[in-house]
Amino acid sequence: MSVIEIKNLVKIYNGSAVQVTAVNGVDLTIEEGEFTAIVGPSGSGKTTLLNMIGGLDSPTSGTIVVDNTDLSTLNKKQLVDYRLHNIGFVFQAYNLIPVLTAKENVSFIMELQGTKKDILTQRTKNILENVGLGDRLNSRPNQLSGGQQQRVAVARALASKPKFVIADEPTANLDSKSTENLLDIMEELNRKENITFIFSTHDQRVVKKARRVIVLEDGKIVKDERRK
């Protein structure tokens, strides 16, 4: 079953001196439970495409339909609700709230969703244990390594039970061991909970794990490979 259907997607940025077409006529369908890597050189449109799927940026033309909802029909409040209830975000820079502990960072999204306190507390504990941080619940970001912070970010992304997770260069700041651990965790959660993962990446370790690899160049899909 498809969770995302994209048709003839275009994004043009009008700079002071030059017009840049970041995404140029992309057609793409993402199925439920996919573990997909979007790759390509810098400036190929990877992050722009993810930002539009995530409702963080709007297309110049074309459509993005998620679960039969055309994102272009949503107002700002509806887009906020769409992101809150459908998407987990994992960013290169972690984007954790520095004054909050690991468990507070993870539970924050669920609080916004109105999750009951007892459910919130138990799910936060369970998911941090799942990413190997059951003993660091009360640690703040500055007390954690880069790999541990990114695992908190993954736990936060998954805590809200999203339909899919968007991960923009999630391993860029991690060493090899942290990268392998993080990818193993995400792959296991993908297989166990059937959560759809969409990565943008330059990292060949991510590409090797992916079961679908989409190559972008100059804002266009030039290759789309599915693996078993």
pLDDT in tens, 92-107: 777 899 999 999 999 9
Q: Residue 154's pLDDT is what?
A: 85
Could you give the CA distance from residue 45 to residue 50 in angstroms, rounded to a whole number?
9
The residue type found at 22 is A
Tokens of 151: 């695992």
**Which domains are delineated in the chain?**
35-58+75-226 (3.40.50.300)
pLDDT in tens, 131-157: 888 899 999 999 998 888 988 988 888
Burial class (CB in 10 A: 0-12, 13-18, 19+), 98: exposed
Q: Residue 92's pLDDT is what?
A: 78
| Ranges under pLDDT 70 in the chain | 16
The residue type found at 179 is T
Q: Is 27 helix (H, G, I), strand (E, B) or coil?
A: strand
Could you give the CA distance from residue 14 to residue 226 in angstroms, rounded to a whole number?
35
Q: Residue 63's pLDDT is what?
A: 95
